[in-house]
Amino acid sequence: MLYDIIDRSMTKTQKRSDGEGPEDPAPPQEEPEGEQQDSPPPPQKNKPSSFYVYLAVLFGAAFLMLLLAYFVQQRNNDAVRYDLELLTASRQELLEQIKGLEKERDQLQEDLKGQKEQTTDAEEAQDWLGKKLEESQKDLLRMTSWYDNAHTLDRLEQFVRDRDYLMAGTVVVESDVMFNRNTSVYTSVDTWLYLTPVNEKRYLDLKEQLFQKSGFMTLTQEGDGSGYTPGMPTFEKDAFQQEELDTAQALWYIIRNYAIAPDFAAIRLQDCYERLTQNSGLFRPSTMELLEEIKEDLIAQELVTEEDGELISNVSFAVQEDGFEPLVNPVDPTKIPLGK
């Protein structure tokens, strides 16, 4: 549109320039009155040219466009600068977050290192305590075995001295694997580790006295039809009824476990006391007196209660259907198959 205005202005200016010529010296001819009224008035020579007006308008419009473009550019620059400031702030915040995460990572690594050191220390302490516990258990087993061996030999000596050969024979049958190094099953019992030469000699002497005085002790033989390990002490066939042997074995369990595990002795006493008193004729009076002493001591320890002549154990151990599972359950040499 601007170019159209310029073209029209140039055309009009040119036409006006063409209409202005040299003055005619001849006087103008008179025209008819009607024609004089229709002709345009002559141009004024002192009026500014329209070309310069349009040129000024053109430059003004251009200046306005440049000014508008400047403001638009300035506005865009402000928007870009604002976005850049936001980006810089976001970047700075992100860098601070990264630094914070790095510090947290370093702290966690230090904590983890400390935890590992503590874990290592705890594991070492646990290993040390485990070794000490194992050593203590071995020491306890050693002392218990020594005491058990000494108590067993004391009772065996008492039975042989008082000629209670049924009880002495029961002790030998139950304990030969603990004292006799010559038996083939001796090494199958852990207590052999704690057998002293003195106790071994003492046992073998008492065993020999029993075999000489009782008259019903013998050794199992290979091929005797029993199917048990040869060379183990046992009772002569038909020397006692099985019920009598079971009664003597129950009494020995009470006497032996009373010395090292009175809780188990209390349970067994509850189950077998009536049967033992009814079969007291099987044993010597000193043996029955020992049973009564054990009963009174267990009552004093409140492990057993006597109500209306009946003994009730105060120990809450689970008892098997067969009656009793003692803490120390010696290997029955007559029940060890061949080759074991």
Report which secondary-structure segment, H or E, holds 161: helix 50-161
Q: How do residues 16-57 score in pLDDT, each as one tens digit?
A: 555 544 444 444 444 454 444 555 555 554 455 788 888 888
Phi-psi region of 288 (alpha: psi -120 to 50; beta: other; left: phi over 0): alpha
Report which secondary-structure segment, H or E, holds 182: none
CA distance 287 to 159: 8
Is the pLDDT assigned to residue 128 strictly greater than 70? yes
Q: Average model confidence (pLDDT) for the chain?
A: 78
Give residue for tokens 């689970």. 318
For the chain, counts of helices (H) and of strands (E): 8, 4
CA gyration radius, the chain: 64
**Domain boundaries defined on the chain:** 240-333
- 156 near 172, Cβ under 8 Å? yes
Res 21: pLDDT: 47
Res 309: pLDDT: 79
Backbone angles phi and psi of 337, in degrees to 5: -65, 160
pTM of the shown model: 0.58
Res 208: pLDDT: 94
Beta strands in 83-157 (DSSP E): none
Spatial neighbors of 335 by CB under 8 A, at least 6 apart, are 228
The length of the chain is 340
**Span of 14-28, 91-105, 130-144, 243-257 with lowest mean pLDDT:** 14-28
User: pLDDT-derived band of residue 229, with 50, 70 and 90 as boundaries?
Assistant: low
CA distance 283 to 162: 10
Q: Is the dihedral of CA 326, 330, 336, 340 positive or negative?
A: positive
